[in-house]
Amino acid sequence: MMAKPTQTDLRPGLIDIVSASLSIAYARRTAAPVQRSFDLRDIGGIEIAVLTKAAALAELSDAMATGRHLKLAFCNANLVNIAAHDPGLRRRLAGFLVLADGIGVDIGAWLLHGAPFPANLNGTDFIPSLFASEQRALRVGLIGGRPGVAERAADWLGRQFPQHRFKVVSHGYFDPSEEAGLLAGLKAAPPDLLLVAFGNPRQESWIADKLGPQHCAVAAGVGALFDFFAGEVPRAPETIRRTRLEWVYRLWLEPRRLWRRYVLGNPVFLLRLLRQRFFPGRSRQ
CA of residue 117 relative to chain centroid, distance: 18
CB atoms within 10 A of CB 156: 16
**Mean pLDDT to the nearest integer, 131-152:** 97
Q: What is the DSSP letter of 280?
A: T
- The confidence score (pLDDT) of residue 62 equals 97
Before 201, cis peptide (omega within 30)? yes
Q: What is the DSSP letter of 177?
A: G
CB atoms within 10 A of CB 50: 17
Q: Which stretch of DSSP H or E encloses residue 227?
A: helix 225-229
- The confidence score (pLDDT) of residue 84 equals 96
DSSP one-letter string for 13-46: HHHHHHHHHHHHHHHHHHSPPPP-SSEEEEETTE
Label residue 245 by pLDDT band (50, 70, 90). Answer: confident
Label residue 26 by pLDDT band (50, 70, 90). Answer: very low
Give 183-223 pLDDT, tens digit per residue. 999 999 999 999 999 999 999 999 999 999 999 999 999 99
Which burial class, exposed, middle or buried, applies to 77 when counting CB atoms under 10 A from its CB (0-12, 13-18, 19+)?
A: buried
Q: Which residues contact 242 (CB under 8 A, 6 or more apart)?
A: none
- The confidence score (pLDDT) of residue 22 equals 37
Give 80-97 pLDDT, tens digit per residue. 999 999 999 999 999 999
